[in-house]
Every structure is written in structure tokens, then in C-alpha cells.
Amino acid sequence: MTPHSHDTSNSLVVRGLRVVTQRGTIAASLCIRNGVIVRIGGYDEPMGAEVAVDARSSLIMPGLVDTHVHMNEPGRTDWEGFETGTRAAAAGGITTLLDMPLNSTPATTNRKALLSKRQAALGKCSVDVGFIGGVVPGNANHIRALWEGGVFSFKCFLVHSGVDDFPNVAESDLRAVMPVLSELGATLMVHAELPGPIETATDGRFEATAEVTTDPVIRGKRPYDTYLRTRPRAAEQAAIDLAIRLCREFRTRVHIVHLSSADALLSLSRARAEGLPITVETCPHYLTFAAEEIPDGATQFKCAPPIRERENRERLWHGLGEGIIDMIASDHSPCPPAMKQLDSGDFARAWGGIASLQLGLSVMWTAARERGFPVERIAEWMSHAPARVAGLSRHAGTIQLGQEANLVIWNPDAEFRVNPATLHHRHSVTPYAAMPLH
């Protein structure tokens, strides 16, 4: 973990009338010493230290934990970088994030690359940052060294990742690496799309990549549904079925990243009922937008797997509410604006990725409150559960005695309209522009 810089020399008190703890939302004072919560008392209770922050009716919540972020450094800092990315994270209430192994150069697939990434992050981080190792064909012998070097989990793609320096794996590659992961107790994070159903959906004309379409028939098409048809739900279902089967065989912890298709919820629910060690995340954009509402040429909405139809979105919300989906992660995946093909509106050529580090909390709360979910569920989905799944529970995710004081203070009743010019991301391209949020 690469910590952000902060002064921990003094004791201080943070108090508020709405503090989200494991015991519920209470009025409380938190006495913090050397960055750790050493006492929890009543709102007006003397704590023997200066009250540094009185949040009053604003909410004090565990800082968000985002386990799916692409910082793109070293090597592609024109896409993002630790300095701008972690500043945006802090502005969005994220206090801990995990950086993905791809879209930086070199990819984090061996110990040397991990050291390069850690060195690149030093002195640039506004929040705590950890790293995820990569699983690619032929690197099974590097897994143990990466784990011992401090990565929190491992990521693989079952379809082309969009960058050639992070190739996708086949079942044979997974069979080589999963026994090692099981022995270590490490989690395999899976981008769950298989090429076969994608090729079938496009009559074999489509080269299945996670980010860019190469089908000459599809290229130049501006309607969103043209792109959507190239990423069928069957591609996710087939990949998740494979992941479940291998999870059952090897008892390896498996985490399905950015679930887009609600069709997979039934098989995931059955796997969980079977006791398999499988967890699931989805993202704010899948829970906010709907394919029917995306304008022609609006490539700022492109991601992989894609944003699907309205009925699919509501089924994802049901899966989240029922606990089949464990948590929310951003999949913050920015790129230079030219790569989004905003001028041409060509979904085939546009990079697939949405930048949302600064906005995820407000986006999720706005959508959740419309559906009757209390704010405590936001804390579960974006703080408690991600920390638990990532093995960070001692560091983040809860407000309790002995825990590091990673906090976010925010007003859930405030309203604002997204102004891209105020975002701290390196680039201001966002599908949330002008959206009213809480």
C-alpha cells in the first residue's frame, strides 16, 4: 500500500449528528490519535482533544474503497496518472483505491513491473493506493513473487483487453494459475466476456477486443445499439459460467468485475448458494444509464462490457439489493479525448472506458435514493464490502475502535449539476455532464 501524506502527530475530534457505524447511524464524536480512531463517544461528550471538525447534520461515513481503478502510470500519464487520479478520488470521497495492472507500461505482470509502478506512485498520491497483479499467458511463475511483493489480488481478461501488452487468457492459462492462487489464498478478478459469442453475434466479422471494434461493417456507425449488438449478454454468461466451473474445481476465490448483464444473476446466485467463494461488482454507469437513452454518436458512454437496456439496469439494482452483487467499483478507465472519437461519434473506433472517480458517490446515492435505499446501503456497497472483498478491512471500510480514520464527510441532501470543468480527472470527458446529482 502506498499511503498518502498526512500529519498524524496530534489528537483531534471529528463529530457529527449522523455517523455511519457498524451499529447504525448515530450522533457521535470520534477521537483520532495518530490517524487511528481511539475512542467513540456521544456527540457532546468531552474527548480531551480539540474538535477539528463538527459535521453537524452532514454525514460522516467510512471513506470509500474503490478496488477497480486504472491510473495508467507509468507509461500512459497522458491518459491519467496518480497525481490527477488520486486527487479526483479524494474529491469524490474515496480514501483507498486499488490500481489495475494494465494500461500502464509495463503492465504489472511481474515483480519488476510492480516495483516500477510503486516507484511511479511515490509522492503523488492524495489517497492510499494499492496494486493489483496481472494474469496473462505464461506468467504463472510470477504470481507468487507478485503476491509476496504486496499485490492485493490478480486480474485477467477472457477477451482481448484493448492493449496488446496485456493479452487475454484461455482456460488452459487459468488452469495453470488457479492452483497457485488457491494455495496463496489470492483472489482472481475476471473480466467476464468470452470471444465466441461476440464473434457469433457479428457473423465472425468481429475481432473481439475489450475496447475497440475492428469489424469493417460496424466501423463508422454512430447508433449506440450497433455497438451494443457486438457485445451480447451471452458473452458475459459464457465467461461467468467458465469462472464458476473453475472456481468450483479449484476453490479459488473469484471476483467478477463490472457485471453488466443481469442475465448472469441466476447462475451467480446459485454459485453463492452452493458456497463457492465468488463475489461480484458492478459499476455506477450500469446502474444509472440505459441503452435506449444514449444518443447517436455519444461515445462518452462507451465501455466494455456495455451499458445495457433499461430493464437490465433495474434487474441489476434488484441483484444489488438482494446481495447477489456485493459491491460497487468505478472501473475508472480514462483516455485522451481524441481516443473517444467525440467528433466522429464512431462507437467502433472509440476507446471503451468511463472516468468517474470524483462522481461515483453522488451518482450512486442519487440513483439509490430514487429507489428507496437508505444511505447505509451506500456505505455497505462502496466502503464495507469492497474493503472486505479486497482484504482491506483492517485498514478501511468501517468506523470502529482501532480502525484507521479513513472518513468521508458529505451532505446527502445537497444538490448540484455536474460541471466537467470542476473535475480533477486529467480529462473532463464524462457521460455525467450536466446531470443533476445529490
Share of the chain above pLDDT 90, in %: 91
pLDDT number for residue 192? 99
- Angle, vertex CA 49, rays to CA 31 and CA 379, nearest 5: 25
Identify the top-confidence range among 49-58, 68-77, 197-206.
68-77
Pair 377, 317: CB distance under 8 Å:
no
pLDDT digits (tens, 9 = 90+) for 163-212: 999 999 999 999 999 999 999 999 999 999 999 999 998 775 545 455 55
Q: Band of the pLDDT at 38, cuts 50, 70, 90?
A: very high
For cell 442475465, what's the residue? 263
pLDDT in tens, 273-321: 999 999 999 999 999 999 999 999 999 999 999 999 999 999 999 999 9
Q: C-alpha angle 10/16/19, rounded to 5°?
A: 100
What pLDDT, on a 0 to 100 scale, did the predictor assign at position 6?
A: 47
Confidence of residue 2 (pLDDT cuts 50, 70, 90): confident
**Tens digit of pLDDT for each residue in 317-371?**
999 999 999 999 999 999 999 999 999 999 999 999 999 999 999 999 999 999 9
Per-residue model confidence (pLDDT) at position 10: 76
* Res 219: pLDDT: 55
Asked if the model's pLDDT at residue 122 lies above 50, the reply is yes
| Residue 95: predicted pLDDT | 99
* Predicted confidence (pLDDT) per residue in 217-242, tens digit: 455 578 999 999 999 999 999 999 99
The CATH architecture of the domain made up of 63-397 is Alpha-Beta Barrel (3.20)
pLDDT for residue 435: 98
